[in-house]
Amino acid sequence: MIKKMNFESRLQHYSFLSACTETAGELATQVFIIGGFVRDLVLGRESSEIDFLVLENGTDFATTYAGKLGVKNVTVFKNFGTAHFRYQEYDLEFVGARKESYERNSRKPTVFTGSFSDDINRRDFTINTLAISLNKDNYGELIDTYGGMIDIENKLIRTPIDPFITFDDDPLRIMRAFRFASQLNFQIDETVLQAANKLRDRLKIVSQERITDEFLKILSSDAPATGLIQLYKSGVLEIIFPEIANLAGVDQRQDYHHKDVFYHTCMVVDNISKMTDNIWLRFAALVHDIAKPQTKKFVEGTGWTFHGHEELGARMIKTLFKRMKLPFNKIEYVEKLVRLHLRPIALAKEEVTDSAIRRLIVAAGEDLADLIILCRADITSKNQEKVSRYLENYENVMKKVWEVEDKDKLRAFQSPVNGEEIMRICNLSPSRQVGEIKSAIEEAILDGKIGNNYDEALAYLMEIKRIML
């Protein structure tokens, strides 16, 4: 006989749950905690959202229970038979046990009242079917109908019923499988991967916002490559993000082969995820080489080249953001990082000029530190000696950046040719034009068009004088 597990001691922290037991007694019903909260409790993860499964009426239960806790604001969704309220820092959700029937062309099921087991087997993954009884006679007892605990132990995503049915009912679950795999660092069971592959076209009935939301959760996890690689192997990545799936594969010609850009990208994303939680910086890492397939060329004697992939990649970002319904105010940032991701390494040479450094400072602006994080994450060599050398290169670039910034600050970006001289050379009296010419010289220095010195500023003044006057 399987030993019954009891979570009573772990529930002590949530003292407000005892009023739940009372409510169930008074209403002669049964109540369970179910889903993500139980999964996370077992995994030792913090969770502030608690889902309650009530036999029969979830909304009546919620109002009575809220009354006992002194909570006045209960949101009831009569049509869905669900209710919600906040208590302390927790979001409490209530639902009556249900059975669902799905139409082929919609994610929205028709819902009927069901039994505890009807409700459990309509859920997505075994790890989400775990329930804890809050009823008086077996308070704290874990109900594990589908082996969710073993799957947690084996770090496995499985479905409680045939995965073809689970995914066909609600194709968003295909994305959820990869999201949980990534967040929890789990593997996805082979049959589940097969079903995801066969039914991937069903993702078409899921809104882009939801797909993107799950995708960004994958990207936000500690090691996103777990999800990305499984997405690729199942063929789902081809549907939801073809540009990234296209990075996979290695071409060999003569003695030359290039590295697999997809697996390189996964390593870069995992690297950067250790350095930052900034999802858009992680996104930039994901797409930094996105135009490599289009720019790939074999050059005799040199091997494979990808000239201009950074510029073409930057130009692909806007279309990508539109299609994936990503926030438009992040386009410029991602474009900038993609466009500039090769620049710092080109500046690591000894003889690099101040103006080249200044051009980088101006182009990257306030995102320079993020750009360097991306560059460091882009080092995926297995050769430790090479890694140290590359990292040192970036340190040198940053040293030069600080030096140039220091110098520029000392001169406060004053034009080396002053107002008096501008008036004399251009034959002007004090006027707005003098200021405009002075700013044009300063801009040219900041843009790196000319060096920050008198001779170049004077030559530039002579040049623009003809155009500006």
Contact positions vs ligand CTP (CB under 6 A): 35-36, 49, 51, 123-124, 128, 170, 172-173, 176
The identity of residue 418, as a single letter, is N
Given a contact cutoff of 8 angstroms between Cβ atoms, the answer to whether 121 and 143 are in contact is no
Q: Quote the tokens at residue 416.
A: 């080396």
Nearer to ligand CTP, 173 or 400 (CB): 173
CB of 109 to ligand CTP, least distance (A): 10
Query: Alpha carbon of 206 to those of 105, 167, 201: distances in Å?
Result: 10, 12, 10
Cα 373–376–382 angle (5° rounding)? 150
Nearer to ligand CTP, 141 or 169 (CB): 169
CB of 22 to ligand CTP, least distance (A): 25
Give the single-character DSSP code of 351: T
Q: Quote the tokens at residue 126.
A: 């075994």
CB of 173 to ligand CTP, least distance (A): 5
Q: Quote the tokens at residue 308.
A: 């201009």
Nearer to ligand CTP, 50 or 320 (CB): 50
CB of 303 to ligand CTP, least distance (A): 45
In sequence order, the 6+-apart residues with CB closer than 8 A to the CB of 190 are: none
CB of 172 to ligand CTP, least distance (A): 5
Would you list the DSSP string of 380-435?
--S-HHHHHHHHHHHHHHHHHHHHHHHHHHHHTT--SS-HHHHHHHHT--SSHHHH
Nearer to ligand CTP, 51 or 367 (CB): 51
Nearer to ligand CTP, 176 or 292 (CB): 176
Q: Quote the tokens at residue 293.
A: 């397939």
Give the single-character DSSP code of 352: -
Closest residue to ligand CTP using C-beta atoms: 36
Nearer to ligand CTP, 165 or 275 (CB): 165
Nearer to ligand CTP, 216 or 352 (CB): 216
- Where in 55-155 does DSSP place strands (E)? 75-77, 82-87, 90-96, 98-101, 110-113, 131-133, 142-143
Nearer to ligand CTP, 160 or 344 (CB): 160
Q: CB count, 10 Å around CB of 350?
A: 5
Given a contact cutoff of 8 angstroms between Cβ atoms, the answer to whether 9 and 59 are in contact is no
CB of 468 to ligand CTP, least distance (A): 60
CB of 299 to ligand CTP, least distance (A): 48
CB of 128 to ligand CTP, least distance (A): 3
d(CA 95, CA 382): 51
CB of 106 to ligand CTP, least distance (A): 13
Nearer to ligand CTP, 59 or 121 (CB): 121
Query: Alpha carbon of 33 to those of 73, 231, 311: distances in Å?
Result: 21, 31, 52
Give the single-character DSSP code of 222: S
Nearer to ligand CTP, 198 or 210 (CB): 210
CB of 217 to ligand CTP, least distance (A): 8
Burial (CB count <10 Å: 0-12, 13-18, 19+), residue 47: middle
Q: Quote the tokens at residue 38.
A: 């139980």
Q: CB count, 10 Å around CB of 305?
A: 13
- Please list the residues that pair with 133 across neighbouring strands: 32
Q: Is 244 strand, coil or helix?
A: helix
